Amino acid sequence: MLTRKLGLAIFGVALIAGAAFAHDPKPKHGGQIVEAGDYHVEAVAKGTGLEVFISGHDDKPVATKGFKGTAVLIVKGKPVQVALTPRDGNVLTGTSATELAAPIRGAIQITNSKNKTVQAKY
Query: Average pLDDT in the 98-119 region?
Result: 96
Q: How many domains does the chain have?
A: 1
Asked if residue 16 belongs to a domain, the reply is no
**Which is more confidently placed, 119 or 10?**
119
Domain carrying residue 44: 26-121
Tell me which of 21-25, 74-78, 82-86 is least confident.
21-25
Asked if residue 17 belongs to a domain, the reply is no
Q: How far is CA 49 from CA 1, 60, 78, in A?
A: 61, 24, 17
Asked if residue 21 belongs to a domain, the reply is no
* Nearest alpha-carbon partner for 27 in 119, 117, 89, 103: 103
Q: How far apart are CA 68 and CA 78, in angstroms?
A: 23
- DSSP 8-state code for residue 36: E
pLDDT at residue 23, as a whole number:
60
Asked if residue 65 belongs to a domain, the reply is yes
- Give the CATH number of the domain where residue 108 resides: 2.60.40
Asked if residue 8 belongs to a domain, the reply is no
The model's pTM? 0.79
Percent of the chain past pLDDT 70, that is, above it, reads: 81
The string of pLDDT tens digits covering residues 11-63 is 444 434 444 444 677 888 999 999 999 999 999 999 999 999 999 999 999 99
Asked if residue 11 belongs to a domain, the reply is no
DSSP per-residue letters across 37-87: TTEEEEEEEETTEEEEEEEETTS-B---TT-EEEEEEEETTEEEEEEEEEE
Asked if residue 114 belongs to a domain, the reply is yes
Asked if residue 70 belongs to a domain, the reply is yes
